[in-house]
Amino acid sequence: MTTNDAATTFEFTRGGRSIGTLTSIVALICLGAFSLAVNASADQSPNAASGAQPAAAEGGVLQEVVVTAQKREQNLQKVPIAITALSGDQLVQRGVSNTLDIASASPGVVTSTFGENGTSPAIYIRGVGQLDFSPHQESPTALYVDDAYVGFLGATYLGLYDTKQLSVLRGPQGTLFGRNATAGVIQIQTNDPTDHFTGYVQQTAGSFDQMTTEGAVSGPVSDKLDARLAFLYNRNTGWLNNNNGPSAGGAKTANVRLKALYKFDDDTRNLFEAFYTRALPMATGAYLDKPAAPNPANHGLGENTNGPLFNQFCNSLGFATPPANAGNCQGWVPPNGNPFDLTFQYYDPREGHSASTLWGFTDKFTHRMSWADFTSITNYASYVMNYIDDDSGNPFPIIGYGESANAWQGSEEARLNGETSSLHWVVGLYALHIRGNYTNVTPVFTGIAPLPPPTGNFSYYNRFSNIYDYSILTGSQFPQGVWTEALFAQTDYALSSQWSVTVGGRVERDSKWADMTQFCNVVQPVTTCAANFLIDGSQFAHGNVSQTEWSANLTFNYQLSPDTLLYAGVRRGTKGAEIDANTYPGSPGLDLRAARGIDGCGRRLQVRAVRPSSETECGRLLLSLSQLPGREVRKLRRPDLQCRSTGLRRRAQHGCPDHADRDGVGRFCLPAH
């Protein structure tokens, strides 16, 4: 037991106990062993939050840090949640400039990204996060910006500018934040308009030609209207050199936000916010080869090796024995013999591009009544992204990967907050709809160029400099829709001057559907789908799942002192169903799955329940579960799955076969339904 944002941890081995039994055990143990937590962690230093009211100005006493983790403003010391709260000034001091930097400032958080320019970010809290980087997925770490949920996985990579406070809430937060908060919640609050004129401009310069400009201007427009305009521009060149093409690792983003606060009277206000974020087209990287081969002595699993096993594997595919330091069966030997050396310059000119756009608005209406406060939060957001890269890892054109998304979301939350001398309560309704069209594609370059190179020099392949000049395009195309409606309530009741109890619950109806077409499209008749182990034509699958789930929170709190809170409880959250989008016809199908998370004493209790995969007439129904530490509670539902094989028809589309749009980002010729 510690006193620095920590909690007593209880681990359970997997056994024959039921979930109900394990939950009861967690509750009993938690009630007998309180977790001592000073939730401010190392962040409760002077000036801990912009605009926070000081509890004491002198003598080293902690200032009050105000958070909204329970849908109302509270002193962080009195919130029974493991929280890291950082003010805008603290974010600057710690070099946290975007959401991927949160890991450097908050314990228990790990971040990563798949692809360049933050294409598919992943935020893990206590080991729980999203492994599937497809743009149609939602993370179990929920991101809220100015009280609005960001449901697009790729859009969770955001620049932090003109920020008032960033909070990390660890553990399931399903009662007040709903589905997909099983790992926790990231809350970002930006600065509101002021009733006096103010502003700032910050300029940052760094290596790799980094140039960042951030600023804001705020002030009154009239007696009842205040406004604030904030902006951020950032660019840097690539850090991984490419002798024959653009360097990878660069970024170029532009962000702007406009807020307008209209004050009807002292009790009624409306805060409107419009935002726009653009990640401009940048070169994307290439995979770097490391030799691997299946080992029959180890259940056929692939192992990193460049010895006899690798040579035997290459020979079985019809390749000559590669050189000793080759990175693949084609015989490519990386300079220095180390493809992971950051000084290594790769020679593949077939660079793709990455670009995305996020825009929308949030409207927050508040009205104070004698018995309660009413809050309405309306949000709309649109997200468009395109990405394509080279996966060959060497100059020889072999294979690539691309994805795109064109989606929008709308949400509405209406809630009432009230209090008496001994009771705080909140009750509300929530609705969310997400609709999008998505693609996952793999361009194949078989037959485009001879192997080995006629001159024996891999620079021969420099002439094949167009990543869109593929022979086969295989992948999946699908629209997807999400509907969620929820009713939630939570109360904090003071049992005495020091004891209190928090009780909350949420009932949520979550529905998801998708119509997926997987295809293999021969673009240039130099090879066939069958020759590349793919099925000719296209396959169609429909999947849908609807489920009613519940989240809950039961926490007992003991205020030991004004600065120390002891609390113990059990929280339950749910993960919305997911659809696994495959890029290779022959193993299509929709994997729809849902998960639950249980948090006891600030830690996760997880038990895995895996149902064997099912065979369908169009292939295998994949059950590729996320690999998470511990044991995970998942409920798997077999979708209403319908499959059929159809002939593939070429469809004329603007931009094909040149495959370039106005941004220079790839377009893909997709099959007709």
State pLDDT tens for residues 13-64.
333 334 444 444 444 334 433 333 334 343 444 344 333 333 333 444 456 8
Element at 88 (helix H, strand E) = helix 88-93
Range picked from 291-300, 388-397, 512-521 for highest mean pLDDT: 512-521
In which residue ranges of the chain is CATH 2.170.130.10 found? 38-190
Q: Please tell me the distance from the alpha carbon of residue 559 to that of residue 78, in angstroms, as a whole number.
A: 8
Q: Please tell me the distance from the alpha carbon of residue 149 to that of residue 142, in angstroms, as a whole number.
A: 7
Amino acid letter for position 489:
A
Band of pLDDT at residue 607, cut at 50, 70 and 90: very low
3-state secondary structure of 207: coil
What distance lies between CA 587 and its chain's CA centroid?
26
| Token pair for 86 | 């950082």
More confident site: 590 or 22: 590
pLDDT at 439: 92
DSSP string, 9-53: -------S--HHHHHHHHHHHHHHSPEEE-TTGGG-STT-STTPP
pLDDT at 292: 81
Band of pLDDT at residue 569, cut at 50, 70 and 90: very high
184-201: pLDDT as tens digits:
999 999 999 999 999 999
Which among 473, 508, 267, 269 has a CA at the least distance from the CA of 372?
Answer: 267
332 within 8 A of 451, measured Cβ to Cβ: no
**Strand-pair partners of 274:** 258, 361
3-state secondary structure of 134: coil
pLDDT at 310: 87
pLDDT at 245: 66
pLDDT at 582: 63
279 within 8 A of 117, measured Cβ to Cβ: yes
DSSP string, 545-614: EEEEEEEEEEEEEEEEETTEEEEEEEEEEEEEEEE---SSTTS----EEEEEEEEETTEEE-----PPPE
Which among 197, 188, 264 has a CA at the least distance from the CA of 227?
Answer: 197
Tell me which residue has tokens 């933050």: 118
Element at 279 (helix H, strand E) = strand 268-283
Q: Which residues have CB under 8 Å from 167's CB, separation 6+?
A: 67, 68, 69, 83, 84, 85, 86, 185, 186, 187, 189
In CATH terms, the fold of domain 38-190 is Ferric Hydroxamate Uptake Protein; Chain A, domain 1 (2.170.130)
| Token pair for 211 | 């140039």
Which among 192, 205, 337 has a CA at the least distance from the CA of 270?
Answer: 192
Q: Is 479 exposed, middle or buried (0-12, 13-18, 19+ CB in 10 A)?
A: middle
pLDDT at 6: 31
Beta strand 74-75 pairing with 292-295: unpaired
| Token pair for 223 | 């007696």
pLDDT of residue 204 exceeding 70, the answer is yes
Span 391-407, average pLDDT? 84
More confident site: 185 or 541: 185
More confident site: 381 or 462: 381
pLDDT at 21: 43
pLDDT of residue 549 exceeding 60, the answer is yes
162 within 8 A of 191, measured Cβ to Cβ: yes
Which among 487, 488, 496 has a CA at the least distance from the CA of 556?
Answer: 496
Q: What does the mean pLDDT of the chain come to? A: 77
CA dihedral 309, 314, 315, 318 (to 10 degrees): 160
67-125: pLDDT as tens digits:
999 999 999 989 999 999 999 999 999 999 999 999 999 999 999 887 666 678 889 99
317-341: pLDDT as tens digits:
888 888 887 877 878 777 665 554 4
For the ranges 158-167, 300-309, 662-671, the lowest mean pLDDT is seen at: 662-671
The per-type count for the chain, helices as H runs and strands as E runs, is: 4, 31
% of the chain at pLDDT higher than 90? 46
pLDDT at 651: 27
Tell me which residue has tokens 């009733």: 195
pLDDT at 307: 81
3-state secondary structure of 532: helix
Q: Please tell me the distance from the alpha carbon of residue 561 to that of residue 663, in angstroms, as a whole number.
A: 59
Please work out, in degrees rounded to the nearest 5, the angle formed at the alpha carbon of residue 110 by the alpha carbons of 109 and 114: 145
474-502: pLDDT as tens digits:
988 989 999 999 999 999 999 999 999 99
pLDDT at 336: 62
Which among 401, 482, 378 has a CA at the least distance from the CA of 436?
Answer: 482
Q: Where are the beta strands (DSSP E) in 9-153?
A: 35-37, 66-67, 74-75, 83-87, 109-114, 120-125, 141-145, 148-149
Q: Please tell me the distance from the alpha carbon of residue 470 to that of residue 442, in angstroms, as a whole number.
A: 10
Span 441-468, average pLDDT? 80
Span 384-412, average pLDDT? 87
pLDDT at 536: 82
CB contact burial 561-596 (16+ within 10 A = b; e otherwise): eeeebbbbbbbbbbbbbbbbbbbbbbebbbbbbbbb
Which among 541, 530, 515, 522 has a CA at the least distance from the CA of 645?
Answer: 541
Q: Please tell me the distance from the alpha carbon of residue 287 to that of residue 653, in angstroms, as a whole number.
A: 30
Tell me which residue has tokens 């010895």: 307
3-state secondary structure of 310: helix
pLDDT of residue 572 exceeding 90, the answer is yes
| Token pair for 276 | 């726009």
Q: Please tell me the distance from the alpha carbon of residue 459 to that of residue 466, in angstroms, as a whole number.
A: 15
3-state secondary structure of 177: helix
Span 167-196, average pLDDT? 95
Span 307-322, average pLDDT? 86
